[in-house]
Amino acid sequence: MRQLLALTIALVLWEAAGRAGWLNPLYAPAPSRIGFALIDLFIQGNIWPHVEATFGAALGGLVLGIAVGVALGAAAALVPFIAELLEPVMMMLNAVPRVVLAPLCVIWFGIGLGSKVALAFVLVAVLVFFTVYTGIKQVDRRLVERVRTLGGGRWTVLREVYLPFVTAWIMGNLKVAVGFAFTGAVVGEFVGASRGLGYLLSFAQSTYNAALMLALVFLIMAFVLAIFGAAGRLEKRLLRWR
């Protein structure tokens, strides 16, 4: 309730400052202008193909990144030789600001869906790799030995010990992964695309339409927060065993 009240006060003060002429509308348009720009996007109906493109790229990169990150992270944590091969590569990828890979993805995969999925995939895969790798490494070895002492084989250990711990670590970082996926999709569209929310942001920037830019930023925030809420509910359901 207090957060909603603080947000309302901030918007009222922002609107009052805009109407009083204290803010340059070219750089900081009033909330009412941003709201009208957002409403126009939906009234015209042109927003939906762009939303579909961004969601498709983000979710595609998210799913592929989680799948590959889990597989590589688990393999590196369980097989020392694979860890020696993968860990330096992942550390180098993690050290590089991965959004700078956007131009390369556009060159390699074109301005279509592929380059956006690829960039979102890289961002998510590196995060999930280290999440799974660290999660398995921190499993209590005494628990593993107890399961083996009771007659549990390799698959039993994986299913009853490693899988619950890895699931907990992945769900704990799922919101970050979702944010990375949308970052990759939007940045890729901003660099080069024919549609998508990032493409609309680039168009708004080129036309100095600050109201449209802020409307798109708030729209992306709303979508991501909605997914965060769904991820939170999924996390509670899957981690009831805790």
Domain ranges of the chain: 1-21+29-45, 50-238
Nearest of 210, 223, 231, 225 to residue 50 by alpha carbon: 223
Residue 157: CB atoms within 10 A of its CB come to: 17
Q: Are 240 and 232 in contact (CB under 8 A)?
A: no
CATH architecture of 50-238: Orthogonal Bundle (1.10)
Q: Would you give per-residue pLDDT tens digits along the chain (242 residues)? A: 666 777 777 777 776 776 777 777 677 777 778 888 888 878 877 788 888 888 888 899 999 998 998 888 888 887 888 888 888 888 887 777 767 788 888 888 887 878 888 889 988 888 888 888 887 776 666 665 666 665 655 666 665 666 666 776 677 677 788 888 888 888 888 887 778 888 888 888 888 888 888 888 888 888 888 887 777 776 666 666 55
Six token digits for residue 204? 């708004």
Q: Hunting for tokens 């688990």 — which residue is that?
A: 74
Tell me if the pTM is above 0.75. Answer: yes
